[in-house]
């Protein structure tokens, strides 16, 4: 009796481990992609700051400085918009993957419920 109960527990643990490993995989992938995007964003800010200093040092007159700063700000805004869109795509993709994972496991649990 004890051995049979132990074997059932081991089988149940193995069955539960698969979906949890998949969840860990999805989470790790999302965190890695988010970290990569954050690093790219930090690079953009560093580049923006360096270019501001460069413009400041090379500007001949205030009008030229204002014009170049405006162009830089416009370019940087476009980059930020692109980064935001990229992040939204990642968030949507992750949400879909987690939703699919939940649906699959809910279905599997309902099928198990019918057996018991």
Q: What is the mean pLDDT of the chain?
A: 90
The share of the chain scoring above pLDDT 90, in percent, equals 64
Asked whether the beta carbons of 90 and 33 are under 8 A apart, the reply is: yes
Confidence of residue 27 (pLDDT cuts 50, 70, 90): very high
pLDDT of residue 116: 55
pLDDT of residue 16: 76
Integer-rounded Cα radius of gyration of the chain: 26
Asked whether the beta carbons of 55 and 70 are under 8 A apart, the reply is: no
pLDDT of residue 1: 60
pLDDT of residue 115: 64
Domain boundaries, the chain: 2-115
Asked whether the beta carbons of 87 and 33 are under 8 A apart, the reply is: no
pTM for the model:
0.75
Phi-psi region of 59 (alpha: psi -120 to 50; beta: other; left: phi over 0): beta
């Amino acid at each position: 009796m004890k051995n049979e109960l132990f074997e059932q527990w081991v089988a149940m643990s193995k069955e539960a481990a698969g979906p949890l490993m998949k969840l860990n995989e999805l989470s790790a992938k999302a965190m890695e992609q988010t970290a990569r995007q954050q690093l790219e964003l930090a690079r953009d800010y560093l580049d923006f700051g360096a270019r501001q200093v460069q413009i400041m040092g090379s500007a001949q007159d205030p009008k030229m400085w204002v014009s170049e700063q405006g162009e830089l700000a416009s370019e940087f805004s476009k980059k930020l918009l692109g980064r935001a869109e990229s992040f939204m795509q990642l968030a949507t993709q992750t949400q879909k993957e987690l939703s699919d994972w939940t649906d699959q496991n809910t279905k599997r649990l309902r099928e198990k419920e019918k057996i018991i």
